[in-house]
Amino acid sequence: MQTAGTSLKQRALRRLVRQADHPRGIVGWAVGWMFAHRPSNRQRNIWAVSLLEVQPTDRVLEIGFGPGVAIAELAGRATRGHVFGVDHSQAMVRQAARRNAAAVRAHRVHLTHASVEQLPSFGDPLDAILVVNSVGFWPDPVERLRELRRLLRPAGRIALVSQPRCPGATRDTTTRAAQELQDLLTQAGFTQLRVETLELDPPVACVLAINPASMPS
C-alpha cells in the first residue's frame, strides 16, 4: 500500500527528473548548481572533453551544456578557436554564461538558448561535437544526429556520453546505453565507433565516432 510519505517522495523525484531535463526557475537554478559542483559530474565532463582531443584552433559545439562545466573545459583547450553551446533551458544559459564570462566577453564562447530541433547557424564547419546525457530526451535522435553530421567537417569527431541515472542503474545499464548510442550513430552514418568507460557509480560510457568524408545523397 502506498503511504503519503512514499507518494510525496515519488512526486519529488518526478519533479527532479523534469528539472534535470529542462531546468527552470529557482529549483532549476539549484539543480544546475548541484550538477556543477557534484564531483562525479565534473569528473565525467572533464573526462569526456579529454576524449575529444580538442585542438587550440578547433570549433566545438556542445548540445545541452547545463551549468557550463564542459564548456569551460572546451574553452581552455580551444584557446584560439570557438566554443558554441546550445541549451533549451534559459536558466542554464544564464548560469553557464556566468561561469564562462571571460570567454564570452572575448567572443570565444557563444551560448544560445535553443533546442536541438532548431539549431542556430554556426558558420564554418565544426571540428567536434559533445553531447552529455541528453540524447535520450531528443525527438527522433537519428535525424538529429544526421543534422549534426552535416555541421561537422569531414573527419570531424562526435562524443555521446551516457551515465544512466535511473534507480538501480548498474554496469549492465551503462553497457546497454552505450549500445543504443552506437546503434543511433551507425544509423546516422557515423563511422569508426569506439566506446570508452569511466569507472564511476554507475559507470559512464562515451561513444566516439567520426564523420566520414562524404555524406549520402
What cell does 164 get? 544512466
What cell does 172 get? 549492465
| 13 occurs within a structural domain | no
| 32 occurs within a structural domain | no
| 205 occurs within a structural domain | yes
Query: Could you give the CA distance from residue 79 to residue 102 in angstroms, rounded to a whole number?
Result: 12
State what percent of residues in the chain have pLDDT above 70. Answer: 80
| 2 occurs within a structural domain | no
**Which segments in the chain show pLDDT lower than 50?**
1-2, 6, 9-21, 28-30, 32-33, 37, 217
**What CATH code is carried by the domain that includes residue 150?**
3.40.50.150
Residue 52, amino acid: L
pLDDT tens digits along 199-212? 999 999 999 999 99
Q: ∠ CA(98), CA(63), CA(187), 5° rounding? A: 170
| 138 occurs within a structural domain | yes
pTM: 0.83
Query: How many domains in the chain?
Result: 1
| 148 occurs within a structural domain | yes
pLDDT tens digits along 13-40? 444 444 444 555 555 444 544 555 465 7
Residue 93 · residue 87 · CB < 8 Å: yes
Buried-exposed string 98-134: b where 16+ CB fall within 10 A, e elsewhere: ebbeebbeeebbbbeeebbeebeebeeebbbbbbbbb
Q: What stretches of the chain adopt beta strand conformation (E)?
A: 59-63, 82-87, 109-113, 126-132, 152-162, 191-198, 204-210
Query: Could you give the CA distance from residue 112 to residue 194 in angstroms, rounded to a whole number?
Result: 30
| 19 occurs within a structural domain | no
Domain that holds residue 45: 39-210
3-class DSSP state for residue 122? coil
> Please, what is the average pLDDT of the chain?
87
| 26 occurs within a structural domain | no
Residue 122 · residue 59 · CB < 8 Å: yes
